[in-house]
């Protein structure tokens, strides 16, 4: 987005090319990519991922599953880690999958932490100010590792939405705004409490898109479920109980609170440099939504 809040001409060009690629018609012409661009980690990760295409149900390892609408695709945990590395995000090691919609203007990462049953007795005492400060400290710790890898630092701007807990669904949600190299991104976080642990769900999108993206994201999450035996309501005395509460789910350390950057931001940088690698990436993206994309049990 430009500083005026209007879409950049470069973004229009990219969106046009993506739509044309998905529809299988001619789009904007780009120069052939260099060998270095062809070998980029993100391109290789997208190309080699074992994609599941909707409409179908995608497994999130052995813990949960998500119903994919038409024109959505999902990757497994191993492929998610490779894609996140390609986007200059630090994998947590707990990734169990990620989902892209056809529009490619947001994505969702799923990470499962088998920490045990999290009691929700802190639901009336969540301190947003203290949690924000803890998240900032955690992000600074994460920046040390980013620097070692030659990646730009990430700064926490503030809450987009303070933490909220729904004691009917046992879902904890909040949204944080981050900034890196002058560009901003919003991570909308959801913690889905289960019998044996917590599913961390991170929606990554541009701040300006969040209001329009949220309905689609919430519709997607309505199709999420823990497998039988792993649901929150199925806890029984004697099961493992987590040593942390709701506050720590929000602030839980550098790995847990690291703000994730987005695919569009990565592609935007390519466009500003000249657009050479976009043709290759569009070819791979088109394949994600092709009829021969992998489905479960095929």
Q: DSSP for 51-74?
A: -EESSEEEEETTTEEEEEPTTEEE
pTM: 0.72
CB 115 within 8 A of CB 244: yes
What's the rounded Cα separation, in Å, for the pair 199 and 256? Answer: 12
Homologous superfamily (CATH) of 9-288 is: Mog1/PsbP, alpha/beta/alpha sandwich (3.40.1000.10)
Backbone torsions φ then ψ of 89, nearest 5 degrees: -110, 145
* pLDDT value for 259: 54
Give the pLDDT band (50/70/90) at residue 192: very high
> Is pLDDT of 232 > 90?
yes
CB 215 within 8 A of CB 114: no
Span 33-38, average pLDDT: 48
Instruction: Look at phi and psi of residue 24 and say left if phi exceeds 0, alpha if psi is from -120 to 50, else beta.
Output: left
> Is pLDDT of 267 > 90?
no
* pLDDT value for 278: 40
Give the pLDDT band (50/70/90) at residue 27: very low
> Is pLDDT of 290 > 60?
no
Give the pLDDT band (50/70/90) at residue 173: very high
Average pLDDT, the chain: 75
What's the rounded Cα separation, in Å, for the pair 250 and 95? Answer: 17
Q: Where are the domains of the chain?
A: 9-288
Looking up tokens 């900034």 gives 179
* pLDDT value for 230: 95
Q: Strands 171-180, 106-113: parallel, antiparallel or unpaired by DSSP?
A: unpaired
> Is pLDDT of 75 > 70?
yes
Beta carbons within 10 angstroms of residue 121's beta carbon: 9
């Amino acid at each position: 987005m430009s500083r005026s809040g209007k879409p950049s001409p470069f973004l229009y060009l990219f969106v046009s090319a993506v739509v044309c690629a998905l529809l299988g018609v001619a789009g904007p012409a780009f120069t052939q990519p260099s060998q270095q661009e062809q070998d980029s980690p993100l391109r290789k990760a997208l190309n080699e991922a074992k994609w599941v295409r909707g409409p179908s149900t995608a497994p999130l390892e052995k813990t949960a599953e998500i119903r994919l609408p038409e024109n959505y695709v999902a990757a497994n945990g191993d492929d998610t880690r490779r894609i996140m590395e390609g986007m200059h995000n630090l994998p947590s090691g707990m990734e169990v999958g990620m989902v892209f919609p056809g529009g490619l203007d947001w994505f969702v990462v799923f990470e499962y932490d088998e920490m045990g049953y999290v009691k929700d007795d802190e639901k009336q005492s969540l301190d947003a100010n203290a949690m924000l400060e803890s998240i900032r400290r955690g992000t600074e710790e994460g920046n040390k590792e980013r620097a070692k890898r030659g990646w730009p630092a990430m700064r926490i701007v503030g809450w987009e939405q303070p933490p909220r807990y729904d004691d009917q669904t046992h879902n904890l949600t909040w949204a944080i705004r981050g900034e890196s190299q002058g560009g901003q991104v919003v991570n909308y976080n959801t913690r889905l409490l289960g019998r044996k642990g917590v599913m961390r769900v991170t929606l990554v999108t541009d701040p300006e898109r969040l209001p329009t993206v949220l309905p689609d994201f919430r519709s997607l999450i309505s199709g999420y479920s823990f497998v039988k035996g792993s649901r929150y309501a199925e806890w029984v005395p004697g099961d493992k109980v987590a040593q942390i509460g709701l506050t720590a789910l929000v602030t839980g350390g550098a790995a847990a609170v690291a703000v994730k950057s987005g695919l569009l931001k990565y592609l935007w940088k390519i466009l500003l440099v000249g657009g050479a690698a976009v043709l290759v990436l569009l070819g791979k993206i088109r394949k994600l939504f092709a009829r021969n994309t992998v489905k479960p049990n095929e």
